[in-house]
C-alpha cells in the first residue's frame, strides 16, 4: 500500500526527513519497501503485515511515529457541532437500522445528510487520493475513500432515495437472492453471506462492496452514510467465494476497529458537508448488537527485562505504550507491574509477550547488545539427524539440488497421487491449494515443469518434507523424500554423444541411497501406482515393507501437466526406511584366492523380473556366492513372443581356500534347478 509522509505530518510533528523516517519505521516493524518522488510528492510503498490492520492507514502509522519519536499525536476532529450545515438539523425523520445477524455485524453506525450537490471533489482531496493511487470519483464517494486512507475504517454512502421502505436491515442473504454490485456484476448470493438490505432487497455486500442500484450518481440529493463492524471470517468467506478483493474487504478480513465506527461516520459527514453542502438530519444512528471488549493484559517489568535481556526504565515502558494507545494501571506489588487496557484497534495484542514485543520494537532492535542467550543443559541430537544428513549428502553427491515446495495441493492431486485420506483446509488460499499434501510428487512435478518452461532442460531436484493424512479425529504426518530428474544422463563430448536419462539411471540412484542402510533383504517389484509408466517403474521392498516407489511419469500425466520431455520421479517413505540403521562401514580383507565365474543362458516369461531371479538364487544359501548379475538380454528371433533370453553370470569365491571344480559344478547344478523351478528353460 502507498502512504504519503506529507499526510502523516498533519498528525505528528516530525523533525526527520522522509528517507530517515522510512528507515526508522522499517526498523520498528512498519516496513517501507520503497520510496518514490521528492518533497511533498514523496510516497512510501509500505508492506504491512496481516496482523496489523491498524497500520494500514495514515493515522495508524502516525500513531507509530508518535511512539517512535515521543511526540504528541494530534486527535482526529470529528465534532459535527461545529459544522454550519448542522444547524438546520431540526426536522428529524426516523430511519431505523435493524441488525438481525449479530454474529456477522456487531455494530452499525449511520448518518443522514439531505440536500447534497454531487460534483468533483476539491483539488486538495483529489490530489491527496491520487498520491496513493486512488482515482477520484465524486465528492461523496471520495469522502468515504479519503476517510479509509486517513484512518483505516471502511465506510459507504448510499443514495437515500433509492433505499425502499425507509430502513436498513443487516441480515444473511436468502436463498436465490442476487445483487448487482458497483462493478456492474450480478452476484448470486449464498445464505452464509451477510448483506445490507432495505425493506425489500439487498443493497450491499457487507464489508465488501456496495450495490449498483443505490450508488451515488449526479442526481443524488440525499445520502445515508454507513460505518459498521463486520465479522472478519464471514467477510473473508464471501470475498473468497465470489472472487472479490476490495480495499474494504482487505481491512475487514483482518479485523477492523470496533470503536472507530462513530469517528469514521462523522469524518465522512464532515467531508461531504464541506464539499457537497446539505444538512445533517437528526443525530447519529448507532446500533450495537454485541460488545467487543478486549481482555486486559498484565505486564511485569521484570518479565520485560528477562525477555529482552536489557533493563528498560519503567517510565520509558509506560511512555511507549501510552503513545501507542494502551492505558496502563499500576498494580500494588513488590516489583513494578501494570494492567494494560488494549485499544480497540489492536486485535493482535492478547498476551504479555505481545506487549513486550511492542516495547522492544519501539526501543529499537538495533539498540540491544549482541549477546548469546544463557543456556543450561545438554544438546540432544535428534534421533534421525544422522540419517537425514547422510541422505542429503548422498543426493547432493549424485547431482540433485535441494528444493522446497508448498505443503498444500489440490483435491485432484491428492486423489491422483495418494490413497491416504486428505486433510481439508478450512480457509484455503485457492482451489489449487485446498488440502494438505498427501504426497510430495505433485509439488515436484510443478517444480520440474517450472524449470522446463524456463529453458532448463537438465534438472535433478530433491525435497525432504512431511505429508499429512487424516487419522480419525487427528492429523498424522509422515516423513518423505522425493526425487525428480529429467534431461540428459551424460553430456556430449568428442568421444561420445549425449544419452538421455532413463529408468535405470534413477533405479541406480535409489540403489545407491538404500545401500546406506543395513538390510540384506532388499528386492524390487513392479509398481502399482497408476501415475507411473507401467513398464518403467518399480518399488523397493525391505523386509517386506515398501520403502520407495519410483519410475517414469505416465505419458498421460505428463501430457496433462504439459511436460515436454520424459520425467522420472522417486518417493522414499522415510518412516519405514528409518526402521533400518545406517550400515556400519567395516574393513574386510580381499580374498587372496581366485574367483570362479559361470554363465547361464535361460529363457523366461517377460513377467519374471531379475529381482525374483536373484532372490531365488540367493535363497540357496551358497556361502561362496559373491555376485549374480545380468549380462545380456535378448528378445525376438528364435525366442517366442512374451519371453526373453537372459544371460546370467555368477561369481564364486572363498576367503580360506581355492575352490574345486566338483563343488562349483554342484553349486551351478543347484542354481539351474532353482531357475527351472522358477519357470526358466536353460538354453543349450
Q: What pLDDT is recorded for position 444? A: 96
pLDDT digits (tens, 9 = 90+) for 558-567: 999 999 899 9
Q: What pLDDT is recorded for position 194? A: 97
pLDDT digits (tens, 9 = 90+) for 132-145: 999 999 999 999 99
- Are residues 659 and 593 in contact, defined by beta-carbon separation less than 8 angstroms? yes
- For residues 508-520, give the mean pLDDT: 90
pLDDT above 70 covers a percentage of the chain that reads 98
Q: What pLDDT is recorded for position 91? A: 46
Statement: residue 90 has pLDDT above 50 = no
- Chain-centroid distance of CA 187 in Å reads 28
Statement: residue 254 has pLDDT above 70 = yes
| 297-367: CATH, from 3.30.56.10, 3.40.190.10, 1.20.140.10, 3.40.640.10 | 3.30.56.10
- For residues 636-651, give the mean pLDDT: 93
Using 50, 70 and 90 to split pLDDT, how confident is the model at 645?
very high
Q: What pLDDT is recorded for position 543? A: 87
- For residues 270-299, give the mean pLDDT: 94
Q: Round to whole Å and give the CA distance between 20 and 61.
A: 15
Architecture of the structural domain at 2-69: 2-Layer Sandwich (3.30)
Q: What pLDDT is recorded for position 609? A: 86
CATH 3.20.20.370 fits 385-577, yes or no: no
Statement: residue 88 has pLDDT above 60 = no
pLDDT digits (tens, 9 = 90+) for 462-478: 999 999 998 888 889 99
Statement: residue 374 has pLDDT above 80 = no
- Read off the pTM: 0.64
Q: Round to whole Å and give the CA distance between 172 and 100.
A: 8
Q: What pLDDT is recorded for position 94? A: 65
Q: Round to whole Å and give the CA distance between 445 and 467.
A: 16
Give the residues across from 312 on adjacent strands: none
Fold of 596-682: Alpha-Beta Plaits (3.30.70)
What is the SS3 string spanning 218-255? CCCCEEEEEEEEECHHHHHHHHHHHCCCCHHHHHHCCC
Using 50, 70 and 90 to split pLDDT, how confident is the model at 189?
very high
Q: Round to whole Å and give the CA distance between 154 and 446.
A: 39
Answer with the residue of higher pLDDT: 211 or 427: 211
Q: Which three cell numbers stand for residue 89?
A: 438539523
- For residues 497-513, give the mean pLDDT: 94
- For residues 91-100, give the mean pLDDT: 79
Q: What pLDDT is recorded for position 453? A: 92
Q: What pLDDT is recorded for position 89? A: 46
**Domain limits of the chain?**
2-69, 80-288, 297-367, 385-577, 596-682
Statement: residue 447 has pLDDT above 80 = yes
Q: Round to whole Å and give the CA distance between 496 and 183.
A: 64
Fold of 80-288: Phenylalanyl-tRNA Synthetase; Chain B, domain 3 (3.50.40)
Statement: residue 181 has pLDDT above 90 = yes
pLDDT digits (tens, 9 = 90+) for 389-436: 999 999 999 999 999 999 999 999 999 999 999 998 888 878 888 999
Give the residues across from 328 on adjacent strands: 340
Q: What pLDDT is recorded for position 150? A: 97
- For residues 371-382, give the mean pLDDT: 75
Reported as half-sphere exposure (CB side, CA atoms, 13 A), residue 635 has a value of 7
Q: Round to whole Å and give the CA distance between 445 and 554.
A: 12
- For residues 279-308, give the mean pLDDT: 93
- For residues 480-508, give the mean pLDDT: 93
Phi then psi dihedrals of residue 10, to 5 deg: -70, -20
Q: What pLDDT is recorded for position 613? A: 92
Mean pLDDT of the chain: 92
Please check whether the two domains, 80-288 and 596-682, share a CATH topology.
no
Answer with the residue of higher pLDDT: 310 or 107: 107
Answer with the residue of higher pLDDT: 334 or 49: 49
- Are residues 196 and 127 in contact, defined by beta-carbon separation less than 8 angstroms? no
Sign of the torsion angle spanned by Cα atoms 8, 14, 15, 18 = negative
Using 50, 70 and 90 to split pLDDT, how confident is the model at 684?
confident
pLDDT digits (tens, 9 = 90+) for 228-250: 999 999 999 999 999 999 999 99
**Residue 630's closest CA among 507, 541, 486?**
507
Amino acid at each position: 500500500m502507498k502512504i504519503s509522509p506529507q499526510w502523516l505530518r498533519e498528525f505528528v510533528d516530525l523533525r526527520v526527513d522522509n528517507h530517515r523516517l522510512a528507515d526508522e519505521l522499517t526498523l520498528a516493524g512498519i516496513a517501507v519497501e520503497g520510496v518514490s518522488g521528492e518533497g511533498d510528492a514523496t510516497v512510501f510503498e509500505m508492506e504491512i503485515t496481516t496482523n496489523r490492520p491498524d497500520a494500514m492507514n495514515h493515522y495508524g502509522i502516525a500513531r507509530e511515529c508518535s511512539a517512535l519519536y515521543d511526540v504528541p499525536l494530534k486527535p482526529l476532529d470529528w465534532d459535527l457541532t461545529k459544522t454550519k450545515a448542522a444547524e438546520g438539523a431540526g426536522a428529524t425523520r426516523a430511519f431505523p437500522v435493524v441488525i438481525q445477524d449479530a454474529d456477522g455485524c456487531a455494530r452499525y453506525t449511520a448518518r443522514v445528510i439531505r440536500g447534497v450537490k454531487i460534483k468533483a471533489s476539491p483539488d486538495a482531496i483529489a490530489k491527496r487520493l491520487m498520491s496513493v493511487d486512488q482515482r477520484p470519483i465524486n465528492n461523496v464517494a471520495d469522502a468515504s475513500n479519503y476517510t479509509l486512507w486517513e484512518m483505516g475504517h471502511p465506510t459507504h454512502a448510499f443514495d437515500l432515495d433509492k433505499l425502499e421502505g425507509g430502513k436498513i436491515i443487516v441480515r444473511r442473504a436468502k436463498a436465490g437472492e442476487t445483487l448487482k454490485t458497483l462493478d456492474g456484476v450480478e452476484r448470486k448470493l449464498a445464505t452464509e453471506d451477510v448483506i445490507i438490505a432495505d425493506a425489500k432487497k439487498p443493497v450491499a455486500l457487507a464489508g465488501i462492496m456496495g450495490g449498483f442500484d443505490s450508488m451515488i450518481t449526479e442526481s443524488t440529493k440525499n445520502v445515508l452514510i454507513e460505518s459498521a463492524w463486520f465479522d472478519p471470517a464471514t467477510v473473508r468467506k464471501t470475498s473468497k467465494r465470489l472472487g472479490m478483493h476490495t480495499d474494504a474487504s482487505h481491512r475487514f478480513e483482518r479485523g477492523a476497529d470496533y470503536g472507530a465506527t462513530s469517528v469514521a461516520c462523522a469524518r465522512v459527514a464532515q467531508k461531504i458537508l464541506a464539499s457537497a453542502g446539505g444538512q445533517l438530519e437528526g443525530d447519529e444512528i448507532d446500533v450495537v448488537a454485541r460488545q467487543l471488549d478486549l481482555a486486559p493484559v498484565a505486564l511485569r517489568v521484570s518479565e520485560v527485562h528477562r525477555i529482552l535481556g536489557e533493563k528498560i526504565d519503567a517510565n520509558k515502558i509506560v511512555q511507549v505504550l501510552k503513545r501507542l494507545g494502551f492505558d496502563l494501571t499500576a498494580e500494588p506489588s513488590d516489583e513494578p507491574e501494570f494492567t494494560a487496557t488494549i485499544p480497540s484497534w489492536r486485535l493482535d495484542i492478547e498476551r504479555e509477550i505481545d506487549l513486550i514485543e511492542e516495547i522492544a520494537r519501539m526501543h529499537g532492535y538495533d539498540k540491544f547488545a549482541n549477546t548469546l542467550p544463557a543456556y543450561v543443559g545438554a544438546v540432544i541430537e535428534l534421533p534421525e539427524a544422522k540419517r537425514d544428513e547422510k541422505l542429503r549428502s548422498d543426493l547432493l553427491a549424485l547431482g540433485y539440488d535441494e528444493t522446497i515446495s508448498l505443503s498444500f495441493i489440490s483435491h485432484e492431486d491428492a486423489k491422483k497421487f495418494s490413497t491416504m485420506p486428505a486433510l481439508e483446509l478450512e480457509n484455503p488460499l485457492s482451489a489449487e491449494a485446498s488440502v494438505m499434501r498427501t504426497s510430495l510428487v505433485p509439488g515436484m512435478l510443478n517444480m520440474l515443469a517450472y524449470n522446463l518452461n524456463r529453458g532448463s532442460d537438465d534438472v535433478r531436484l530433491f525435497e525432504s518434507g512431511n505429508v499429512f493424512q487424516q487419522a480419525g479425529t487427528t492429523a498424522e504426518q509422515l516423513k518423505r523424500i522425493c526425487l525428480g530428474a529429467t534431461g540428459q544422463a551424460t553430456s556430449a563430448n568428442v568421444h561420445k554423444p549425449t544419452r538421455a536419462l532413463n529408468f535405470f539411471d534413477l533405479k541406480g540412484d535409489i540403489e545407491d541411497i538404500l545401500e546406506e542402510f543395513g538390510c540384506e533383504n532388499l528386492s524390487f517389484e513392479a509398481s502399482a501406482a497408476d501415475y507411473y509408466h507401467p513398464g518403467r517403474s518399480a518399488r523397493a521392498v525391505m523386509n517386506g515393507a515398501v520403502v520407495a516407489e519410483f519410475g517414469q511419469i505416465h505419458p498421460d500425466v505428463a501430457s496433462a501437466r504439459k511436460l515436454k520431455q520424459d520425467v522420472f520421479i522417486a518417493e522414499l517413505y522415510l518412516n519405514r526406511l528409518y526402521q533400518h540403521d545406517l550400515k556400519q562401514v567395516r574393513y574386510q580383507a580381499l580374498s587372496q584366492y581366485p574367483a570362479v565365474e559361470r554363465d547361464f543362458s535361460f529363457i523366461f516369461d517377460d513377467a519374471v523380473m531379475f529381482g525374483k531371479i536373484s532372490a531365488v538364487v540367493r535363497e540357496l544359501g551358497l556361502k561362496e556366492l559373491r555376485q549374480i548379475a545380468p549380462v545380456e538380454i535378448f528378445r525376438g528371433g528364435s525366442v517366442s513372443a512374451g519371453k526373453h533370453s537372459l544371460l546370467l553370470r555368477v561369481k564364486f569365491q572363498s576367503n580360506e581356500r581355492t575352490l574345486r571344480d566338483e563343488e562349483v559344478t554342484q553349486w551351478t547344478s543347484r542354481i539351474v534347478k532353482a531357475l527351472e523351478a522358477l519357470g526358466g528353460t536353460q538354453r543349450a
